[in-house]
Chain A
Amino acid sequence: MNRVSDGAPPRSAAVDLPGPLRGAFIAGLTGAAALGLELTAARLFMPWFGASIHVWSKVIGVALAALALGNLAGGRLAARWPSRFVLGGLLGAAAATAALAPLLTRAFALSTVPADLPLEAALGILGQASLVTAIAALGLPLFVLGTIFPFVVKGAARTWSVERSSGVLSSVSTFGGLLGTFAPVHWTIPSYGSRATCLGIAAVLAIAAFVAAWPLRARHGLAAAAVASILGAAIASFAPTPWKPQSGDGTVVLERESAYQYVRVERARDATRLCLNEGLDSYHSLAYAGDVMTRGAYYDSLSLMSARPLTASPSPRVLVLGFAAGTVARQLLALFGEHRDLRIDGVELDPVVAELAGPYFELPPDPRITIHVDVDARSVLDRTNVRYDVIVVDAYAQQIHVPFQLCSREFFASVREHLAPGGLFLANVSAFSADDGALRAIARTACAEFTHVGALAVFGSRNFVLAGSMESSTDQWLLPPTTLPERLHPARSAADEARGVFAWPTRPDDVVLTDDRSPVERIMEHDLELRARALLAAGRGAR
């Protein structure tokens, strides 16, 4: 005789699941936990993989896949074992794996992205490394969280209709997701950090587990609470310092999570460096103990190029977009502020970064400096009426990108309008050579707004100082050594080694970037990806 299936479960079990109200409470908490975990994971990844759209896509992709598979599995499990103890056990497992997510992230990141890996080579592997880490750290907790929903729907459907149960519980879960979206971003991560946030999410899920399994015998409840507390305490107490180990001979003197990014200060001998997110071998501020110069780094070149407009005026004004911890300001004040009424306005998005200027980068509060924080550089420029003798752009996103709103034609037009007569626009642009697509595109865009555009290759680095002016031509931008402060002589010699500033040759095939269309990130990533692959391929040919 043939077996005939009508699609119903072959075996039915007695349903012992929470009713609609408790189910809604559990659905709300799991919705909040899922979104909270997803957002917190993106922050956990920042120190290792950065915050690029590629990393976000890995986190979101893995989360969606895990939740979808969890929903499938949950449906089968709820049909087979519709028990509050199974539901409580699943929530407990979700809590444990959520608590472990930071440690798993760290372990996988250390294994896949060595701390001494140069940024130039890292770009070829960061994408896949973030995917592997996302699966390991996020896959399990989100898979388990995905199994919960069918249980609570089944429990509620004993009292309500299936339609009402699924509708109400979906809605509550989504509202919980709203809480999970906003609370970590605006409260827990800035206040307590991403690891503590993960532990908080784990605690919320543990509470949900107790609610799901209730009523419990007293001794069972106590035992479960004891196990949860011991596990939580053990995980919380494992916090290696520094969280991200230092490569080379330096030491990490500060690690902080700001509202925007992972911030870290490193010291190696007499040098202090500010690193953000994955950082690797790049830095965003630099100070040598007792010396305002940076021994050939691009800051010296920026000061060298600033010399002409700043010495031409008795009361020069400078705007620094991308103030960071004030290396440019510190240098300009020391070099040109002694005999002039020099005023510097700085814009730094991240207030935590700007606060580091005094304690770590030898730039104490100075009445000549005004810093605007928590605001985008572009909006400050567009709203000010001040005209500046020098406008410096030293702003970066994801280590390598000049933010698109700071290299569009409209931005350069705004810079031009805010330059005083004889003023100079200066930008630090990362590029491996003048052939790099992003540098070419940015320079070509500057050419559309400035009469004269030139570049100086910073000798021995991967930086170009791009400059634009309406009046003076490129051969006038570098002052002769006799009229320069003595501390700038090495920078002048380095510029001579690099054959000085060259007028930017415009090419018809270079794109002009606009606010509407600015593929600068894609261009730069394409160039860097090719270089990273070439570097790793070169390693394979080692003998």
Chain B
Amino acid sequence: MTPIRGLVVGGLLLLCANAGGAAPAQARSDVDSLLLEARALIRQMRISAAEERLRLVWTTGDASAEQDAYARFLLGIVAHERRDADAAERSYREALERSSSTATRAVAQSNLDMLATERARYAAYAPLRTRLDVWLAIECAVALAVACFVVRVSR
């Protein structure tokens, strides 16, 4: 009954879909198929399975520079979906620095921008916990003061 409307997933997946064209044509087929598989798994929201495929890209050691960059971009999405903003930012930046493909660079930059927007949005909520801690401290202090007052006046 309850959809929790996410902030990022639609955009991420669209960007991921657009990045399909960014897969390097000259890449070796096994790495290519791993990347395509990882991308499909991300679209199915099977994040752990996608990450496993991406780890295999580096395990094989056959990835070209462009494939490596695209794998890092996909790994950024995996981290982004897990709400690990720092890891996502790191991966997107690595993809941006290492890729020579215009398409991959464009989507990595776009996702970085999206991440910054999200961080700014949640920055507004970050003080909530502090505010709650302060309120709790004030309430405890008031309760203590009332208790002391009652004890004192009724002595």
Contacts and interface: CB of A to CB of B under 8 A. Distances in A.
A378 B132 CA distance: 39
A284 interface: yes
Contacts of A297: 3
A324 B2 CA distance: 11
Nearest to B120: A542
Contacts of B146: 73, 143
Given A139-B143, A499-B40, A80 B126 contact: no
Contact of A538 (B83, B143, B154): B83
Interface string A181-207: 000000000000000000000000000
- Which of A80, A283, A462, A505 has the most C-beta atoms of chain B within 10 angstroms of its own C-beta? A462
Question: Of B6, B81, B118, B124, which is in contact with the most chain A CB atoms at under 10 Å from its CB?
Answer: B6
A535 B122 contact: yes
Contact of A298 (B3, B14, B135): B3
Given A125-B129, A435-B48, A69 B13 contact: no
Contacts of B4: 118-120, 281-282, 399-400, 430, 432, 461-463
A537 B87 CA distance: 13
Contacts of B3: 282-283, 297-298, 428, 430, 458, 461-463
A451 to B, nearest CB: 21
Given A132-B139, A539-B119, A282 B5 contact: yes
A434 interface: yes
B123 A542 contact: yes
Contact of B136 (A132, A395, A457): A132
Contact of A539 (B1, B13, B40, B126): B126
B2 A430 contact: yes
Contacts of A10: 155
Interface in A79-117: 79-81, 108, 111-112, 114, 117
Given A125-B128, A497-B13, A76 B46 contact: no
A243 interface: no
Contacts of B150: 73, 76-77
A459 B9 CA distance: 8
| Most chain B CB atoms below 10 A, which of A81, A111, A399, A540 | A540
A539 B131 CA distance: 15
Nearest to B11: A460
A236 to B, nearest CB: 26
Contacts of B122: 121, 535-536, 538-539, 542
A536 B44 contact: no
B145 interface: no
B1 A428 contact: yes
B86 interface: yes
A394 interface: yes
A534 interface: yes
B5 A281 contact: yes
A539 B122 CA distance: 4
Contacts of A537: 85, 126
Contacts of B155: 10, 76, 80
Nearest to B84: A534
Contact of A132 (B46, B135, B151): B135
Nearest to A124: B129
Contact of A464 (B13, B45, B120, B154): B45
Contacts of A81: 154
Nearest to B153: A80
Given A462-B6, A539-B126, A432 B81 contact: yes
B139 A433 contact: no
B47 A497 contact: no
Interface string B42-67: 01111111000000000000000000
B139 A460 contact: no
B86 A541 contact: yes
A114 B85 contact: no
Contacts of A541: 85-86, 119
Contact of B43 (A76, A394, A498): A498
B10 interface: yes
A483 B87 CA distance: 44
Scoring A131, A135, A136, A433 by chain B CB atoms within 10 A of each residue's CB, the highest score goes to A433
Nearest to B41: A499
Contacts of B13: 459-460, 497-498
A125 B132 contact: yes
Contacts of B40: 499
A543 interface: yes
A539 B44 contact: no
B154 A531 contact: no
Contacts of A76: 150-151, 154-155
A129 interface: yes
Nearest to B150: A73
Interface in B2-56: 2-7, 9-10, 13-14, 17, 40, 43-49
Given A498-B13, A536-B125, A542-B119, 19 more contacts: A77-B150, A80-B153, A112-B131, A112-B135, A117-B125, A118-B7, A128-B136, A135-B139, A135-B143, A432-B6, A434-B45, A460-B9, A462-B3, A498-B44, A499-B43, A502-B46, A535-B83, A537-B126, A539-B124
Q: Which 3 A-B pairs have the closest CB atoms?
A: A539-B122, A460-B10, A538-B85
Interface of B: 1-7, 9-10, 13-14, 17, 40, 43-49, 81-86, 116, 118-126, 128-129, 131-133, 135-136, 139, 143, 146-147, 150-151, 153-155
19 contacts: A81-B154, A117-B128, A129-B128, A139-B139, A281-B4, A396-B2, A400-B4, A430-B2, A433-B82, A435-B48, A459-B43, A463-B3, A463-B4, A497-B17, A538-B83, A539-B123, A539-B124, A539-B125, A543-B119
Interface of A: 10, 69, 73, 76-77, 79-81, 108, 111-112, 114, 117-121, 124-125, 128-129, 131-132, 135-136, 139, 143, 281-285, 297-298, 322, 324, 394-396, 399-400, 428, 430-435, 455, 457-464, 497-499, 502, 505, 531, 534-543
